[in-house]
């Protein structure tokens, strides 16, 4: 396991694919996830010969937990320092949900590092309904019960068809959450606080000049289509695609479709 240490905190990271490639892709996790959540996307970009960089944010599963208040600017700074450490001058950023929000903040603050930007099921602001979902996650996380936490969270992130057709998988996933360390839930609560306190960045989106792809699941009940439309409206020359019959975890529910969009977008951008 590889760690990058910063300010006495360890950040877990992985470098996969062609480590000598001059073309890099950085995947940025959803809030509840870890680097393994990108397994299907990693396979696609490995075949294309990219250097692939993943890491767990401070507060996530394999990295140290947040001790004080954190911000999206802090996450972006961590990523910049990791790329400098790895001697990566620029990369294609792909982020889902919380990771997409970190990616946008990174593109605002450090545009010189960004070859392209792909934002999946993310927001640049919130509303009362989304805040209520997050509040329910905090209550569930405080109980330190993995199975209960998953069952509270699942209806807000998976699409209806996926839940209907994958009952055994979801039941197994819920039970497996019981093996998660208790520190995971404390980290989650801090990340939720960061999201609610600091996610607003709509007024800064015009600063993003990198080619941008925005993807949203049609059945994303958590970060609904209206938020992807706000992002699309505020980033000049961005592209916007919705994926039918998919909830919030589009990278998992519709991996083939997402991979086709991402690889096509990034390769086209490199040619132009």
- The answer to whether position 190 is within a domain reads no
The structural domain count of the chain equals: 1
Judge whether 239 and 265 are in contact, CB under 8 Å: yes
Q: What pTM was computed for the model? A: 0.96
State the average pLDDT over residues 250-265: 98
Q: What is the DSSP letter of 18?
A: -
- The answer to whether position 173 is within a domain reads no
> What percent of the chain has pLDDT above 70?
100
- The answer to whether position 107 is within a domain reads yes
Q: Where are the alpha helices (DSSP H) in the chain?
A: 39-47, 72-85, 98-109, 128-142, 146-157, 160-165, 167-176, 182-198, 225-234, 250-253, 255-271
Q: Which two tokens stand for residue 248?
A: 């919030």
Q: Which tens digits make up the pLDDT trace of 62-94? A: 999 988 889 999 999 999 999 999 999 999 999
Q: Which two tokens stand for residue 78?
A: 């961590």
- The answer to whether position 182 is within a domain reads no
DSSP string computed for 16-46: EE-TT-S-EEEEE--TT--GGGGHHHHHHHH
Give the range of the structural domain holding residue 68, as residue numbers without chain letter. Answer: 2-125+199-271
**Residue 1 pLDDT > 80, yes or no?**
no
Here the CATH number for the domain that contains residue 88 is 3.40.50.1820
User: 10 Å Cβ neighbour count for 84?
Assistant: 12
- The answer to whether position 36 is within a domain reads yes
- The answer to whether position 179 is within a domain reads no
Q: Which tens digits make up the pLDDT trace of 213-230? A: 999 999 999 999 999 999
- The answer to whether position 262 is within a domain reads yes
Q: Which residues contact 191 (CB under 8 A, 6 or more apart)?
A: 31, 57, 59, 60, 66, 70, 98
Q: Which two tokens stand for residue 115?
A: 């070859």
- The answer to whether position 44 is within a domain reads yes
CA-nearest of 153, 142, 159 to 32 is 153
């Amino acid at each position: 396991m590889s760690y990058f240490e910063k300010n006495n905190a360890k950040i877990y990271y992985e470098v996969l694919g062609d480590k000598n490639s001059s073309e890099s892709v950085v995947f940025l996790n959803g809030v509840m996830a870890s680097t393994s959540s990108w397994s299907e996307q990693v396979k696609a970009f490995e075949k294309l010969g990219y250097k692939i960089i993943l890491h767990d944010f401070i507060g996530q599963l394999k990295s140290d937990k947040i001790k004080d208040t954190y911000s999206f600017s802090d996450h972006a700074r961590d990523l910049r320092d990791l790329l400098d450490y790895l001697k990566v001058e620029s990369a294609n950023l792909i982020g889902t949900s919380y990771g997409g929000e970190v990616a946008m903040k990174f593109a605002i603050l450090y545009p010189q590092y960004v070859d392209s930007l792909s934002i999946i099921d993310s927001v640049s602001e919130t509303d009362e309904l989304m805040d209520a979902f997050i509040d329910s996650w905090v209550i569930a996380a405080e109980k330190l019960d993995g199975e209960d936490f998953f069952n509270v969270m699942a209806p807000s992130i998976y699409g209806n068809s996926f839940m209907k057709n994958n009952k055994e998988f979801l039941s197994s996933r819920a039970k497996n959450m019981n093996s998660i360390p208790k520190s995971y839930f404390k980290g989650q609560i801090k990340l939720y606080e960061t999201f609610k306190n600091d996610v607003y960045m709509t007024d800064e989106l015009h600063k993003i000049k990198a080619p941008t792809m925005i993807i949203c699941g049609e059945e994303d009940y958590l970060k609904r289509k209206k938020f992807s439309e706000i992002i699309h409206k505020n980033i000049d020359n961005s592209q916007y695609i919705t994926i039918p019959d998919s909830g919030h975890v589009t990278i998992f529910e519709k991996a083939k479709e997402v991979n086709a969009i991402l690889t096509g977008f990034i390769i086209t951008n490199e040619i132009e």
